[in-house]
Structure 1
Amino acid sequence: MERRFFLNHSPIDGVHFTKNANDFTVTEIPLYPFSGEGEHLVLHVRKKDLTTWQMLQALSEISGAKVRDFGYAGLKDKEGMTIQYVSIHKSHEKAFENFSHPNIKLLSTTYHNNKIKMGHLKGNRFFIRLKKVLPTDALKLEQALRTIKAQGYPNFFGYQRFGKEGDNFEQGLAILQGKRRERNKKIHDLLISAYQSSLFNAWLSRRIEMSKLVESFSEKELAEIFPWDKATLKSLKAQKQFLKLLPGDVCHHYPHGKAFVIEDVEAEAARFEAKDAVLTGWLAGNRAMRTEGIAKEIEDVYCAQAEPYLAQMNGARRFAWSFAEDVEWNYREEEAWFEMHFSLQKGSYATVVLEEILRREL
């Protein structure tokens, strides 16, 4: 399904964005402060034009440690500059005393009691610079960021999830269908994850489309569009937040807590507006909470094809909506640069926020 955007302004086509070390920076936000003691050496590193795997390989060659012995909280893109934390047993500390690499800088070191594990981060802070920005486009960008700061954004999976050719999800489906074999477990899991992500994105696009219809038409007009009773339509029209909730939806306490099936739509809509709970979408697979009623009917349209393969996938719930924090921006008119900073929850994509702001896919 075609990607749907939440914001309503016309696409901003003239600005220029390049994902390079000068114009795109990711700074990891740790889940917890490091203790300063323990058997694990924590390296605070800055890399550019390298994938996380390439960086770890370089660290491995310098230290003599195996790549699998390093701990890290998340994989970062090759393009741009990344500042993140990596751990290794402190027995390798001497190898980093005179560390030098053209694409990696060691910013500082400390110690911790445990190895850093995947997912052990609060989120990431991003810096993005757009170029060739006219004053009229700068005003649109500023208003878009104000809206996202206040209301949040749809939490799509980014284009990175789907590979250079955009067909990773098709390869993932082929694996599930037994039409393709992939012996590399990491690639196997990546392709299946891309398939799950494509279903999620299609479902979220539909929910955005439905929410726009609810905001655009009267209750009477909606009765001609949706086959739902008056009480449901009245509930939809009464909701103040953009992404509307339906009976049977699964929400999640935000940013931490548990998932739950909605029992009182009005109450959960108020909590959604207050950023205390948000709607979630299904990453198709086993052992994940499922929607009910009307919400399940919509979910099934996009996820029914995955039903025969659920036992082969690990299911989960993903925030359908998320909130950017510490949003800042600056327009440098003389250079025609528009610069922005914002922090996102782990698993969210800065490029998705940028696409929303520009109202076009990168």
Structure 2
Amino acid sequence: RQWFSIQLPGKADPDLSAAQDDTLQILKSTRHKRKLQRGAHAANGFTLRLTQLDADTDALNQRLEIIARQGIPNYFGTQRFGYQGGNLGEARDYAARKALPEQRAVRSRLLSTARSYLFNRVLAARVADGSWEKAQVGDLLAFTDSRSFFPAGVDECSDPRLAILDLHPTGPQWGEGHSPADGATAELENAIANDESALRDWLVRAGMEHERRILRLPIGRLTWHYPESDILQLEFVLPPGCFATVLVRELIDLVPVGQTDSPCVF
């Protein structure tokens, strides 16, 4: 379930019935004096069906139970990077030329792609060393539904809100200035930024602000069942800006969906 806003000033309400089919149901339409701003909604609810399932359902259930308790790495999904990773290739081209796209929509898309790629590289490194779901001294911590963050000292690393998935370590969304993290966290983030210095410098020249994104994604109200022996239906809620496809990828060993050359780094 997701709200969409369509700008129709001074125009009659459109007939939306023709937009419905077996894959799309319009639950409600209403007028509002303002458009829906990006990220302004509280959450997104999903119902996904994985069909032609060929898996050990006991193992699949165990994996889903772990995900419900522990969350998953909060990667940006493959769709952020475009068809076969084309967005990142475009971003690298502009970065190499130290130029920006003239069209605002293209500029926004490619800058977001570059930031997402750098974030995913940091998260992949944290997953590899097992620290993605644990706070370490030098981290910057944030709550699930907040864009603000604060530094983690020894006391903050044992905050009980970490264990109940309310509080999380964060990774960088690169922009002006160095990583405000400290210690091993800063070393890792700066090493990856230095390795991708063309993209980093491009983001800085574009005037992007350094922001943070939680490394761990809690899966809200996760339930599942099997309508048929070869169909798994998942229902869950995610915060704004998080990707349902990433949850599916966490089941990839059990539900293969094919390989991709997309540079999402997970």
Report runs of 4+ in structure 1 exceeding 6 Å deviation: none
Task: Judging by fraction of residues, say which structure has more strand.
Answer: 1
For 2:201, which of 308, 315, 318 is the aligned residue?
Answer: 308
CA contact (8 A) 1:278 1:321 kept: yes
For 1:349, which of 228, 240, 243 is the aligned residue?
Answer: 243
For 2:52, which of 112, 119, 132 is the aligned residue?
Answer: 132
Match of 1:326 in 2: 221
Q: Judging changes above 3 Å, is the alpha-carbon distance between structure 1 residues 116 and 133 closer, same or farther for their aligned structure 2 residues?
A: closer
Deviation at 1:90, TM superposition (A): 6.8
Match of 2:62 in 1: 143
RMSD: 2.7
Deviation sequence 1:325-358 (CA, Å, 0-9, x none): 1111112344x21111111111111111100122
Give the SS at the match of 2:108. helix
Deviation at 1:131, TM superposition (A): 2.0
Match of 2:186 in 1: 296
Higher mean C-alpha displacement, 99-108 vs 341-350: 99-108
Equivalent-residue separation in structure 2 for 1:105 and 1:99 (angstroms)? 10
- In structure 1, the gaps of 5 or more residues are 1-26, 29-83, 213-241
Match of 2:264 in 1: none
Equivalent-residue separation in structure 1 for 2:100 and 2:31 (angstroms)? 42
Equivalent-residue separation in structure 2 for 1:206 and 1:338 (angstroms)? 31
Q: Judging changes above 3 Å, is the alpha-carbon distance between structure 1 residues 196 and 265 closer, same or farther for their aligned structure 2 residues?
A: farther
> Share of identical aligned residues, percent?
25
Match of 1:250 in 2: 140
CA contact (8 A) 2:53 2:231 kept: yes
Letter in 2 for 1:355: R
CA contact (8 A) 1:171 1:180 kept: no
Q: Judging changes above 3 Å, is the alpha-carbon distance between structure 1 residues 251 and 139 closer, same or farther for their aligned structure 2 residues?
A: same
- In structure 2, the gaps of 5 or more residues are 259-266
Give the SS at the match of 1:318. strand
Deviation at 1:361, TM superposition (A): 6.9
Letter in 1 for 2:232: F
1:146-161 map, 5 Å:
146-161=65-80
Q: Judging changes above 3 Å, is the alpha-carbon distance between structure 1 residues 198 and 88 closer, same or farther for their aligned structure 2 residues?
A: closer
Equivalent-residue separation in structure 1 for 2:41 and 2:17 (angstroms)? 26
Deviation at 1:148, TM superposition (A): 0.9
Give the SS at the match of 1:85. coil
Deviation at 1:132, TM superposition (A): 2.5
Give the SS at the match of 2:130. helix
Q: Judging changes above 3 Å, is the alpha-carbon distance between structure 1 residues 275 and 106 closer, same or farther for their aligned structure 2 residues?
A: closer
For 1:271, which of 151, 161, 168 is the aligned residue?
Answer: 161
Deviation at 1:202, TM superposition (A): 1.0
Deviation at 1:284, TM superposition (A): 0.8
Larger RCO: 1 or 2 (CA < 8 Å, sep 6+): 2
Q: Judging changes above 3 Å, is the alpha-carbon distance between structure 1 residues 181 and 90 closer, same or farther for their aligned structure 2 residues?
A: closer
Q: Judging changes above 3 Å, is the alpha-carbon distance between structure 1 residues 99 and 266 closer, same or farther for their aligned structure 2 residues?
A: closer
Deviation at 1:159, TM superposition (A): 0.5
Match of 2:35 in 1: 115
Give the SS at the match of 2:128. helix
CA contact (8 A) 1:202 1:302 kept: yes
CA contact (8 A) 2:136 2:157 kept: no
The reply to whether residue 164 of structure 1 matches residue 83 of structure 2 is yes
Letter in 1 for 2:18: H
Deviation at 1:277, TM superposition (A): 1.2
Equivalent-residue separation in structure 2 for 1:160 and 1:191 (angstroms)? 12
CA contact (8 A) 1:249 1:279 kept: yes
Deviation at 1:180, TM superposition (A): 5.8
Match of 2:4 in 1: 85
Deviation sequence 1:26-50 (CA, Å, 0-9, x none): x12xxxxxxxxxxxxxxxxxxxxxx
Deviation at 1:270, TM superposition (A): 3.1
Higher-Rg structure is: 1
CA contact (8 A) 2:115 2:174 kept: yes
For 1:340, which of 222, 234, 237 is the aligned residue?
Answer: 234
Equivalent-residue separation in structure 2 for 1:211 and 1:164 (angstroms)? 30
Give the SS at the match of 1:211. coil
Higher mean C-alpha displacement, 99-108 vs 269-278: 99-108
Equivalent-residue separation in structure 2 for 1:102 and 1:148 (angstroms)? 35
Equivalent-residue separation in structure 1 for 2:185 and 2:108 (angstroms)? 28
